Amino acid sequence: MKENFWNNYSEESILPTNDLMFKTIFWNKEYPNILIDFINSILKREDPIKSVELVNTEMDNKFIGEHGIRLDLVATTSTGEILNVEMQKKNNDDMYKRSLFYWAKIYSSQLKQIQYYKDLHPVIAINILDFNLFKDTRCSRNFILKDEKTNEEYSSRMLDIYFVELNKRKYMDQNDELWAWTEFLKAPNSCHLDSIQNEVESIANAKYIFNKTSANSLEREKIRLLEKTQMDNLSAIHYAKEEGLAEGLEKGEHKKAIETAKNLLAIGLSIDQISKATGLSIDEIKLLI
């Protein structure tokens, strides 16, 4: 029987982990310290990032095709590093390969702007996971290229991939600033954040944006509709696999996706958000405008 994920949905379940809410909070030009402090809490460098420049979150059309490549957040640092921050709520694919594939596409896309390989900048991929991927209790981990015998790092950390598993925050030291961010993402009105937000301005700003957006009826409806579309698509895919109806479903679901896209356009969602929610290509959605 087809599972109805939407029956269990309520306004109270809207969290900062929602795609649209996540971007609203962390991709905010008025409060750039939110993204900077969040990233620094993950990287934990001796020389922290001091500024970032937001760039287009859509990749070239040649990267948006059968694999549906759409990046959540992309930015560059003052030293030229490229940051990709992705929020993942469901483990619907091979997360290891997916992250490496995204990293590779961003890294190679630089070749359009540079002439020499020496001018390539490091790419840092940060994956925020609302599910458990690894077997141990560590909340955060970092993968780099290095010599397996000497541990010598390869080429100034050109490849840097981080994973943060939100559900493992209970194992973290609560004095770690990353713990505060993971707590905010999963429980934005947690009493544990009351004292922290008085000391950390960026977390207070993030909570302010979350509450303001949640109270806005139009923004809340966008979030609910986007969430419903994603849940309905996931439900349909599961049903098709169970019943062996993939071929017939594909045609019917494509027609349904077109109608859904029209509704999402009408309430003001971006083409990239609609593409991610419906699975339609950017070009298909542009034809509906």
pLDDT the model gives residue 206: 94
pLDDT the model gives residue 93: 67
pLDDT the model gives residue 59: 43
Tokens describing residue 85:
């921050």
77 touches 119 (CB < 8 A): no
pLDDT the model gives residue 278: 81
pLDDT the model gives residue 2: 38
**pTM score of the predicted model:** 0.72
pLDDT the model gives residue 235: 57
Residue 144 DSSP SS3: strand
pLDDT the model gives residue 3: 40
> DSSP strand E in 55-110: where?
73-77, 82-88
Pairing type for strands 73-77 and 52-54 reads antiparallel
pLDDT the model gives residue 170: 93
268 touches 222 (CB < 8 A): yes
* Structure letter (DSSP) for residue 273: H
The low-confidence residues of the chain, meaning pLDDT below 50, are 1-11, 59-69, 71, 244-249
